[in-house]
Amino acid sequence: MRSLLAGSLLAIVLLARAAPSPECAHRVKESIPPPRGWDKVRPAPANHTIELRIGLQRPNVHNLEQHLLEVSDPFHPRYGQHLSKAEVEALIEPHPISSQLVDDWLASHEISEEQITRTPGKDWVKIKVPVALAEKMLETEYHIWTHLESGDSLVRTTSYSLPDYLMDHVDLVQPTTLFARFRGMKTTLHFSTERTAITDTNPGTISVPTASGGQVNASCNSTVTPSCLLDLYNAAGYEPAAAGQNKIAVTGYLEEYANYEDFHLFNEALVPAAANSNFSVVYVNGGLNNQTPSEAGAEANLDTQYAFGLTYPTPGTFYTTGGSPPFIPDDGDTQNYNEPYAEWLDYVLNSTDLPQTISTSYGDDEQTVPYSYATRVCSDFAQLGALGVSILFSSGDGGVGDGDPDPATQECYSNDGTNKTMFIPGFPASCPYVTAVGGTAYIPEVAANFSGGGFSNYFSRPSYQDAAVANFLATLPAGTYEGLYNPNGRAYPDVSAQSENFEIYWDAEAYLVAGTSCSSPTFAGFVSLLNDARIANGLSPLGFLNPLIYALGTNGTSGFNDITEGNNPGCGTEGFNATIGWDAVTGWGTPNFGVLKQIVLGNLSDFLA
């Protein structure tokens, strides 16, 4: 009792010493050089509204990550024993002193409790304020910045400060230095007026020993459909048995809408059993799902048609999240433009009924995301993994370059003011707590030349990757691309799947699309089927996949089809080569569902010995 009382008195003393005052000195919290490719146009309108997100320090986040690795490690006795929502929130809750100091700071600027929104873990505090007040609070100046290539505009600053007494209690404040544009990962869109012209080509079959029945229809070499993927990845004939419990979801941003009529046409043509099915829509942060045919999004249609077509009758959910940071503000525009990805994370981390598998086909260059923000978001993915959710991301469409699928127009320079030539990793694919999915093409499969892959400059290589990545680096001739990448960084992609010539329906017509936007919902579909098999047999969902994936690959199981041909050029180079085992183009390769199902339903130690 005496110890508890002493601790309470100490907290009171600390708070008293740190009480805010109007004259309290500020220190720079974060500062970046003017970002490449952006032009500072003019001061931001003083009355423009910004939603500031204040990230309080999470003193126990390292414990969260330790729990995640234990419940995801197939060698650990806790494997599959995922945490509850309450347990996760307890691990990311800030210290009460941090919360109190931030509240006092806000009160000193006449921001009342009614104006504050907090996440369930209390680690994010959100307030809506005019630019003029944000500038005063952060001792900064906001400007309108325009992206020279696209014309998109943002209200941002390149430096901000906090009172001295908050420096050890606040991790970051955004939007300030975040210049990410958050784009979809699709490279091409080809028009075809007749569906039969797409699908009825290349008669005959192709021998693929790992496929269902040992062969795949030859038409799949020019047009990929759900039946092609089920055959190629050895899942033909599998009937989901836990559709009442197992769920799959895809995310939509930037006014990408999933069209119901296109979904029905796709199913009628390519998944007849699902002809009368539909998907659920969850609206986040004012998101919409406009059903005007001309408003349909090729990205959203692709994601829903393949993730849900492959897994029917597993319930599918489309998250449509409002907010689009790029805009053209003027003095009369006071609308708040939130960061859509952060809003989605807030929503799902507050949910009590999460899908077991979620695919996202959006991202940006890692260097456009401040390190503080990237690490914060990455730990949010760790929360989802600890809850038993498998999170998959497209690895990107620029090879080792900056996301531009045309290597000739890529700009491969650092964004830190030095303009150093370098490979450009993508984010969130570079987060070690997500599964990044690269791309393949053709049958037999080779690496798609746009498949994003490489090494993070922010995140160190996790231990689950050590053996596989060391083996890959040993295959590179001495000095290969020296200085262009970080060989000690988190390496990606982790796996891959087909990513070219996918037939989708868009605006009531058949089209072919390509990109790792295709591979992520595809791989997610097979993960969902594995989750179905486990749940139907009374087992937990797979959750965070990477420790299991790397354990299987390192131990030489045949759960993946190794891709050994192709490369991912970019930045004026040929990029990395696909090779035996893990590589920085296709990861461990593409899934063999039949083998993986046998593994995840059996005694894992039998396969990992």
List, for residues 412-445, the tens digit of each pLDDT value. Answer: 999 888 889 999 999 999 999 999 999 999 999 9
Structure-token match 């990861």, residue found: 587
**Mean of pLDDT values over 598-606:** 87
Residue ranges, comma separated, of all CATH 3.40.50.200 domains in the chain are: 184-329+341-608
**Mean of pLDDT values over 338-343:** 75
Q: What is the pLDDT of residue 323?
A: 74
Q: Which residue has the higher pLDDT, 592 or 10?
A: 592
Q: What is the pLDDT of residue 603?
A: 83
Flag whether 54 is marked binding.
no
> Is 194's pLDDT higher than 50?
no
Q: What confidence category does residue 5 fall into, taking pLDDT thresholds of 50, 70 and 90?
A: very low
Task: Provide the token pair at 244.
Answer: 């009442």
Q: What is the pLDDT of residue 188?
A: 59
Q: What confidence category does residue 342 fall into, taking pLDDT thresholds of 50, 70 and 90?
A: confident
> Is 13's pLDDT higher than 50?
no
Q: What is the pLDDT of residue 324?
A: 61
Give the β-pairing of 124-130 and 117-118.
antiparallel
Which tens digits make up the pLDDT trace of 72-99?
999 999 999 999 999 999 999 999 999 9
Q: What confidence category does residue 476 fall into, taking pLDDT thresholds of 50, 70 and 90?
A: very high
Beta strand residue intervals within 18-68, DSSP E: 26-31, 38-43, 49-56
Q: What confidence category does residue 264 fall into, taking pLDDT thresholds of 50, 70 and 90?
A: very high
CA distance readout (Å), 526 to 227, 432, 465, 497, 523: 13, 21, 22, 10, 5
| CA separation for the pair 464, 460 (Å, rounded) | 12
> Is 608's pLDDT higher than 80?
no
| CA separation for the pair 470, 247 (Å, rounded) | 36
Mean residue pLDDT across the chain: 90
Q: Which of 21-35, 102-116, 499-513 has the lowest mean pLDDT?
A: 21-35
| CA separation for the pair 14, 19 (Å, rounded) | 9
Share of the chain above pLDDT 90, in %: 79
Q: Which CATH class is domain 184-329+341-608?
A: alpha beta
Q: What is the pLDDT of residue 198?
A: 54
Flag whether 581 is marked binding.
yes
Flag whether 364 is marked binding.
no
Which tens digits make up the pLDDT trace of 494-548?
999 999 999 999 999 999 999 999 999 999 999 999 999 999 999 999 999 999 9
Helix, strand or coil, per DSSP, at residue 88: helix
| CA separation for the pair 560, 287 (Å, rounded) | 37
**Mean of pLDDT values over 246-250:** 98
Q: Which residue has the higher pLDDT, 349 or 336?
A: 349
Q: What is the pLDDT of residue 609?
A: 64
**Mean of pLDDT values over 477-489:** 96
> Is 182's pLDDT higher than 80?
no
| CA separation for the pair 548, 556 (Å, rounded) | 12
| CA separation for the pair 511, 190 (Å, rounded) | 6
CA distance readout (Å), 551 to 281, 317, 519, 582, 609: 36, 30, 22, 12, 10
Q: Which residue has the higher pLDDT, 99 or 327?
A: 99
Q: What is the pLDDT of residue 3?
A: 41
Q: What confidence category does residue 408 fall into, taking pLDDT thresholds of 50, 70 and 90?
A: confident
Q: Cα–chain-centroid distance for residue 248?
A: 15
Which tens digits make up the pLDDT trace of 544-596?
999 999 999 988 888 999 999 999 999 999 999 999 999 999 999 999 999 99
Q: What is the pLDDT of residue 339?
A: 67
Q: Please report which residue ranges of 81-225 form alpha helices under DSSP H.
A: 85-92, 96-108, 131-138, 195-199
Helix, strand or coil, per DSSP, at residue 453: coil
Q: Which of 30-39, 125-134, 191-200, 555-564 has the lowest mean pLDDT?
A: 191-200
Flag whether 535 is marked binding.
no
Q: What is the pLDDT of residue 438?
A: 97
Residue 281 half-sphere exposure toward CB, CA atoms < 13 A: 20
Tell me which residues are annotated as active site. Answer: 299, 303, 517
